């Protein structure tokens, strides 16, 4: 066989292999799509105190595992303890004020009863004098004085009743419904709540990360001082070209490999996908449209974010942000699925090396 024939034969073989690989790539992109744009995500909570003050104690270290409710750091409680004492004194003063008003109310009740009795007596005396006036026993002047006394007693009765009513209004409801007590109790509860917030505790189980907090720092309310990576709520996000997802349904099988764990293929399940991307969000901001400008003949494909869940527990060695590669199984073919797993294993080794 001449060299030219030998070369032509290899060129035909190379061409056939290229077409075969191209056909596989096009077919695999639709039935077993794969993306290296994937990563592990965990919720990261920014820990900020609800009150201001000097940090006097830090009870955790960097990368320490903590449980929900565990003390993270403490703010100087001195000012807040004084506020609690002040509120307690205000509550005591409110109770004393109510006791004084109750005593005044009792006196007003007695005054009303006295005015009622005096009013009755003055009316009785006026009627008696009226009957005597008919027989000329008493003078008209005496009768007029008695009538004036009746009016005075009636006015005094109205005055004592109004005074009692004013005291009753000032006292208000009794017990827990009393306004003064409720206001003072509310201030006390607020002071106690602020005092309790000088101890900052972990809201969830997690790991303290990138800790830079030290004692002596002047903390401001709602100022982030610490990050807590929540464990147990991990998710894996993957960005696929939108055309590759057209025939993939939710709950489809998937495989995941991680750059940090070469050679290990994890089975997973497609749980959900986003309905859109940021560029497709409609915001009525009053601005004109800004069409994309590009001189490229082939534009970049739009990617859609999907979420997959491992069927087994996520390895604890993976940090949040760990890179991954995800493949979705859009076919029931056992052969294609086997080829996909083999491809994923090879990809994991290549990503570990590269």
Residue 312 CA to residue 269 CA, distance in Å, equals 10
The string of pLDDT tens digits covering residues 103-114 is: 887 888 888 888
214 with 244, same domain: the answer is no
How many domains is the chain built from? Answer: 3
98 with 65, same domain: the answer is no
204 with 72, same domain: the answer is yes
| Residue 17 placed within a domain | no
Exposed, middle or buried, 168 (CB in 10 Å: 0-12/13-18/19+)? middle
| Residue 287 placed within a domain | no
| Residue 19 placed within a domain | no
Q: 330 by DSSP, 3-state: which? A: coil
Please name every residue paired with 228 in a beta bridge, in sequence order, or none if there are none: 45, 208
Residue 149 CA to residue 259 CA, distance in Å, equals 105
Q: Can you give the pLDDT at residue 28? A: 63
CATH classification of the domain holding 189: 1.10.287
| Residue 244 placed within a domain | yes
Average pLDDT over residues 49-68: 94
56 with 140, same domain: the answer is no
| Domain carrying residue 52 | 45-76+198-230
Instruction: Please give the full DSSP string across 27-95, using - where no structure is assigned.
Output: HHHHHS-EEEEEEEE--EEEE--SS-EEEEEE---TT-EE-TT-EEEEE--HHHHHHHHHHHHHHHHHH
The string of pLDDT tens digits covering residues 251-262 is: 899 999 998 888
Query: Is pLDDT of 72 > 90?
Result: yes
CATH classification of the domain holding 55: 2.40.50.100
181 with 131, same domain: the answer is yes
136 with 188, same domain: the answer is yes
The full length of the chain comes to: 354
211 with 319, same domain: the answer is no
* Across 15-29, 59-73, 87-101, 221-235, least confident range: 15-29
CATH classification of the domain holding 246: 2.40.30.170
User: Where does the pLDDT of residue 89 fall: very low under 50, low under 70, confident under 90, or very high at 90 and above?
Assistant: very high
64 with 204, same domain: the answer is yes
92 with 188, same domain: the answer is yes
């Amino acid at each position: 066989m001449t060299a030219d024939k030998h070369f032509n034969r290899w060129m035909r073989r190379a061409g056939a292999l290229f077409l075969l690989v191209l056909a596989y790539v096009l077919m695999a992109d639709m039935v077993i799509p794969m993306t290296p744009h994937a990563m592990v995500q965990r919720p990261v909570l920014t820990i900020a105190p609800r009150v201001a003050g000097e940090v006097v104690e830090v009870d955790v270290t960097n990368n320490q595992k903590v449980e929900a409710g565990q003390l993270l750091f403490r703010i100087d409680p001195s000012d807040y303890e004084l506020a609690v004492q002040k509120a307690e004194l205000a509550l005591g003063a409110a109770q004393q004020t109510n006791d004084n008003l109750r005593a005044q109310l009792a006196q007003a009740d007695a005054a009303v009863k006295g005015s009622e009795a005096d009013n009755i007596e003055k009316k009785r005396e006026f009627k008696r004098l009226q009957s005597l006036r008919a027989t000329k026993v008493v003078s008209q002047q005496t009768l007029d004085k008695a009538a004036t006394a009746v009016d005075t007693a009636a006015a005094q009765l109205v005055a004592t009743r109004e005074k009692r009513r004013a005291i009753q209004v000032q006292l208000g409801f009794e017990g827990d419904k009393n306004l003064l007590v409720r206001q003072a109790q509310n201030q006390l509860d607020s002071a106690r709540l602020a005092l309790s917030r000088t101890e900052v505790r972990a809201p969830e189980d997690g790991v303290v990360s990138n800790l830079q907090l030290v004692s002596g720092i002047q903390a401001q309310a709602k100022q982030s001082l610490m990050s807590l990576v929540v464990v147990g709520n991990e998710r894996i996000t993957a960005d696929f070209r939108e055309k590759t997802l057209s025939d993939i349904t939710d709950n489809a099988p998937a495989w995941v490999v991680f750059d940090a764990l070469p050679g290990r293929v994890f089975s997973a399940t497609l749980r959900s996908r986003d309905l859109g991307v940021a560029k497709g969000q409609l915001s009525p901001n009053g601005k004109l449209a800004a069409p994309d400008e590009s001189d490229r003949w082939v534009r970049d494909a739009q990617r859609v974010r999907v979420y997959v869940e491992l069927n087994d527990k996520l390895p604890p060695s993976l940090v949040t942000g760990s890179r991954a590669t995800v493949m979705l199984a859009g076919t029931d073919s056992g052969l294609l699925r086997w080829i996909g797993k083999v491809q994923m294993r090879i990809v994991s080794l290549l990503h570990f090396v590269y």
